[in-house]
Chains A and B, each alone.
Chain A
Amino acid sequence: MTFGAQLTHLLVILFASIFTENILLARFLGMCSFLSVSRQIKTAVGLGFAVVFVMTFTVGLDWLAYRFVLQPYHIEYFRFILFIVIIAAFVQFVEMAIERYSPVLYQNLGIFLPLITVNCAILGASLFMVIREYGFVEGVVFGLGSGIGWMLAIVAMAGIREKLAHSRIPKGLQGPGITLIIAGLMALAFIGFTGVLSGG
């Protein structure tokens, strides 16, 4: 592949993971925190940034671990445990690092980091990376795109829910019910991006 073709290939992965294959709206990953932390834009943005950051790095780390530890010994089935341990360790490490070097960032982002270890989207991105047999750069781009896509979805949802706080909603539909319906409408809108890729 020429450099240009490779770049296009990476851009397609990036675009697909942000819009058409949005990890949240098309793959349903990271729903738990999506439903519970999408009440305010500010917190949604904080969590979103944390997810982008952690996802980009853990997909890369998991790729290295998969390629250089699991594959040589043919113990691929250990990937679930290894990936989780890597993610947990990375999150812990980042938390300690930003607490030490940037108290301001820690105040804004710190509370979200522990939440991320149990965010299925992070593990999901790594598992998709394995199944689709991405290379290292492709994997990292995919992780970055998935993180951005997740953030986009949760921030948009928080914006809608802030307005929603003032509307009257049937009792049984309050909370998760209406959030799911909005998520459905958003998923519908994101499907509209599909044509962009096949057309280009």
Chain B
Amino acid sequence: MPGQIRTRDVVINGLWVDNPVFHQILGICSALAVTNLVINTVVMSVAVIFTTALSGFTVSLLRKWTPRVIRMMVETLIIAFYVILFDQALKAYWPDMSRSLGPYVGLIITNCIIMGRAEAFANANPPGISLLDGFFSGAGYALVLIAVSIVRELLGMGSILGIPVPFFSTQLDRWIIMVMPPGAFFTLAVIVWILRSLQQSRSGETGK
């Protein structure tokens, strides 16, 4: 069944082959800053997945009625709509989190991944599969960021999700640098390095 094969492709592409973060290095602007704590990253990831999936769905739904010249503007408005929904909900139900994420929830609007998926996929495909594509692109992005945040919180604070981890919180000295901005760069660089090497060795020689 062709439909199923495509679904499978979408899942694998989003999570691995075209993973937005380590393959295309897109959209880390709005999220790297919140990777100092796992819980912040999880909330941020939910926001990104929510926005990519639903904006993909909506863009795809409206694609036949959207004039090509104002396409980008329409897409931006759709994305902004979902981001505002999420931002308001967070502010109402979890004000502390909203404060600690600061402007970064709003910055999801300019996250290149969401626009990229809307342009590259949702514009040319039916709504159902676009929703799925958005979801898994967002999930692939979330996976890498959560990995970064686990490393940072574990080494920097000796805990995960605020719960102290035995060895890291007692024996090992805290790596303060991990909580500070440079830690995010180093951790992401190492993760990108590992994943890219894996990808290259698995797929043999692939162009650039």
Q: Taking the complex as formed, is B84 at the interface, i.e. its CB lies under 8 A from any CB of chain A? A: yes
Chain A nearest CB, measured from B162 CB (Å):
22
* A28 in complex: contacting residue of B28, B77, B186, CB < 8 Å: B28
Option from B73, B88, B182 in Cβ contact (under 8 Å) with A191: B182
- Stretch in A39-47, A53-61, A135-143, A166-174 touching the partner: A166-174
Q: Does A188 contact B (CB under 8 A)?
A: yes
Q: Is the interface of A mostly helix, strand, loop or mixed?
A: helix
Encoded as 1 (CB less than 8 Å from any B CB) or 0, chain A from 152 to 192 comes to 00000000000000000011110111101101110110010
Rounded to whole angstroms, the CA-CA distance of A121 and B29 in the bound complex is: 8
Bound CA span A30–B25, Å: 12
Interface flag for B43 (CB, 8 Å): no
> Interface readout for B41-64 with A: 1 if CB under 8 Å, 0 if not?
000000000000000000000000
Smallest Cβ distance from B188 to chain A, in angstroms?
5
Q: Does B33 contact A (CB under 8 A)?
A: yes
Given A118-B115, A183-B185, A172–B197 Cβ distance below 8 Å? yes
Which residues in B have their C-beta under 8 angstroms from that of A187?
A: 180-182, 185
A84-B107 contact, Cβ under 8 Å, with A180-B189, A181-B186? no
Chain B interface residues toward A at CB < 8 A? 25-33, 73, 76-77, 80, 83-84, 87-88, 102-103, 106-107, 109-112, 115, 177, 180-186, 188-189, 192-197, 200
